Amino acid sequence: MTTRSATTAAASTSGPLVSCAVGYLSAWLAARTRMVSSQPKYELIQEVGRGSYGVVYEAAVKCTGARVAVKKIRCHSPENVELALREFWALSSIQSQHPNVIHLEECILQRDQLAQRMSHGSSSPLYLESRFTLSIMAARPELSHFIRLVLVETSLKGEITFDPCCAYHLWFVMDFCDGGDMNAYLLSRKPSRKTNTSFMLQLGSALAFLHRNRIIHRDLKPDNILISQARTPAGSSEPTLKVADFGLSKVCSASGLNPEEPASVNRCFLSTACGTDFYMAPEVWEGHYTAKADIFALGVIIWAMVERITFVDAETQKELLGSYVRQGEDIVPLGEALLENPKMELLIPARKKSMNGRMKQLIREMLAANPQERPDAFELELRLVRIACRELDWDT
Ligand SMILES: Nc1ncnc2c1ncn2[C@@H]1O[C@H](COP(=O)(O)OP(=O)(O)O)[C@@H](O)[C@H]1O
Ligand SMILES: [Mg+2]
C-alpha cells in the first residue's frame, strides 16, 4: 500500500539552484526551437513544496510575467518515474480545461543541457523505452512488466535515449495556486457556510469532469486540493479550488468501456491498493475498486470540512481535515473501520445542527460501505447543486 503525505517547505530557494534550474529551462527552449537561445522561458522565484518525488517552485513566464508552478521530478528510481508518468498521462489526456482541475501547460524532459517537450500520441516513431528503462528492468526484474506496460500504455514519446549514468528530470509547468492547500486555507479562517458551499460545488464539478474523462484520481485529500486566489471571471468572492497531484491517478483505457457513456468509469475495476489511509474507501484496502473510491474520499473531505473535523498527522504533526471514527483512545480511518464492520452506523453529523437533512443523507451515501450504494460523480454534482440552491434561498 502506498501512503504519502506532502511536506510543504516555505523556505526560499538558494540562488545557485535557481540559476541552475533556469539554465535547464533555457536549454529546453533552445532544444525546442532548434536554435541557441540565451533567454530562459521561465524564471524560478521560490520553492513552494517538497516531497519524496522532487520539488515544486513558483515561477514566472519571462515574456508575460504570468505566474506558473513548476514541479521537478527526478527520474532516478522506477517509483519516481511511475509517479511522473501517471501524472503526465492523466493531465495530458484531458482535451479541455476545467477551472477546478490543475492545468498542465507543458511537460519537459531534461538531461543536462538537453531538453525536450513531452507529448503523447502516435506521431513520433520513437518510444521513451530506452537504455534507462532497460537498466531498471535488469536491476528490478519484478518491475519490468509493469514498466513496459506503463510505457506502452502511456505511449510517451521522446527523442533522447536514456543513459543510466545521467540524471533525468521531468518538469511539469502548471497553474500556480497562491492560496496554499485546502487544509491551510480553511484551518486559518473561521468556518463559513458560504465558503463550504462554494468548495463543495467546485469539488463536485471537478470530480464529474475527471470521471467523464475516465480519470480516477485515487489520492483525493485536502493536501492535494490547492487554492487559487486570483479573481475569477464571474467575480465570485470565494477562491478557486484546483484538484492537483495526479501521481497516483489512473486513466481507464477505453477498451471495454463505452467512451460515449461517462458512467462506464464506474465499471473500470482497479486492484492496486493506493491512496492515503484516512481517505481510502473500504474496498481500496481490499484492492478491488472503481471510481466510486474517489466518491468515498470526497465524502471524508466534505464531512470534515462542514464540521471542522481534524486530526494530527503522526509523521508531519500537521493538523489535517479528515473524518474518522474513535475506537477508545485511537482514531481509525473510516474505510478501515467500515471494512471491519460494514454495518457500522456513522454519527453524521458529529455535532448537532451542523448540517441540513439533505446534506446529511448525501454524506451518508457517499460514505456507504458498499460502493454500489454511493452516488456516482454525475449524480453527486447534481445533488450538490440542488443543496447549494436551497442554501442560497435560505440566505436571502
Ligand atoms: N500548482 C501548484 N501551485 C502551488 N503550489 C503547488 C502546486 N503544485 C504543488 N504545489 C505545492 O507542492 C506540494 C506537493 O505537490 P504535489 O503535486 O501534491 O506532490 P506530492 O506528490 O509530493 O504530494 C503541494 O502540497 C503544494 O504545497
Ligand atoms: Mg500531494
Q: 209 and 63, same structural domain? A: no
| Domain end (from 127, 159, 175) | 175
Nine cell digits for residue 133: 528503462
Of the ranges 2-16, 49-63, 178-192, 345-359, which one carries the lowest mean pLDDT score? 2-16
Pocket test residue of 8, 44, 56, 61 for ligand 1, highest count of atoms within 8 A of CB:
56
Q: 143 and 280, same structural domain? A: no
On the question of a cis peptide bond just before residue 349, with omega within 30 degrees of 0, the verdict is: yes
Ramachandran sector of residue 245 (left: φ over 0; alpha: ψ -120 to 50; beta: rest): left
Q: Which domain holds residue 186?
A: 182-389
| Domain end (from 175, 192, 224) | 175
Beta-strand (E) ranges in 151-294? Answer: 156-157, 168-175, 215-216, 225-228, 240-243, 250-251
Which of ligand 1's atoms lies nearest the C-alpha of 5? 23
Which of ligand 1's atoms lies nearest the C-alpha of 83? 21
Q: 223 and 149, same structural domain? A: no
For the segment 278-304, the average pLDDT, to the nearest whole number, is: 97
Nine cell digits for residue 115: 531538453
pTM of the model as a whole: 0.82
Q: Tell me, what CATH number does 94's domain have?
A: 3.30.200.20
Q: 375 and 265, same structural domain? A: yes
* Residue bearing the CA closest to ligand 1, atom 11: 49
Q: 128 and 197, same structural domain? A: no
Confirm whether 345 is domain-assigned: yes
| Domain end (from 148, 175, 202) | 175
For residue range 46-85, list pLDDT tens digits in order. Answer: 999 997 778 999 999 999 999 999 999 988 787 888 888 8
Is residue 219 annotated as part of the catalytic site, yes or no?
A: yes
For residue range 211-264, list pLDDT tens digits in order. Answer: 999 999 999 999 999 999 986 656 678 999 999 999 999 999 766 666 667 778
* Residue bearing the CA closest to ligand 1, atom 4: 177
Q: 163 and 206, same structural domain? A: no
Q: Count of domains in the chain?
A: 2
The DSSP line for 100-153 is TB--EEEEEEEETTEEEE-EESS--S-BS--HHHHHHHHH-HHHHHHHHHHHHH
Is residue 289 pLDDT above 70, yes or no?
A: yes
